[in-house]
Amino acid sequence: MTVSELKNNDNLVYYVVHPLEDEPEEKCDPEKAGPMPMSRSVKFSLITLRAYLIIMGLLLLYRLIVQMHLFGSHGPHS
């Protein structure tokens, strides 16, 4: 492991270890984490974001179906 020494103006010494040369750390198990506590405003924001993404996906799907002319003849070329 390579360790570099850095000194600042106060003669404090900082040891710097490159992340690729550092000892691996134990990973957290997401199964043991449990649900994350959220406030009402965070829940509302996430539900609003989910609804927005669903609506935008449906609009995109509708636009693609219209572009493929699956709804029959609509528009000025009929």
pLDDT value at residue 77: 56
The structure's pTM equals 0.51
Residue showing tokens 């390579």: 2
**Count: domains in the chain:** 1
| Average pLDDT, integer, range 16-23 | 80
Q: Which helix (H) or strand (E) covers residue 62, if one does?
A: helix 40-67
**6 has which bridge partners?**
14
Examine residue 48 and state whether it is found in any structural domain, yes or no: yes
pLDDT value at residue 8: 64
Indicate the SS3 state at residue 32: helix
Contact 21, 1 (CB under 8 A): yes
| Average pLDDT, integer, range 17-32 | 82
Which one has a higher pLDDT value, 60 or 13? 60
Query: d(Cα 11, Cα 72) in Å, to the nearest integer?
Result: 79
Examine residue 64 and state whether it is found in any structural domain, yes or no: yes
Examine residue 21 and state whether it is found in any structural domain, yes or no: no
pLDDT of 1 over the 50 cut = no
Compute the chain's Rg from CA coordinates. Answer: 28
Which domain range does residue 63 map to? 37-72
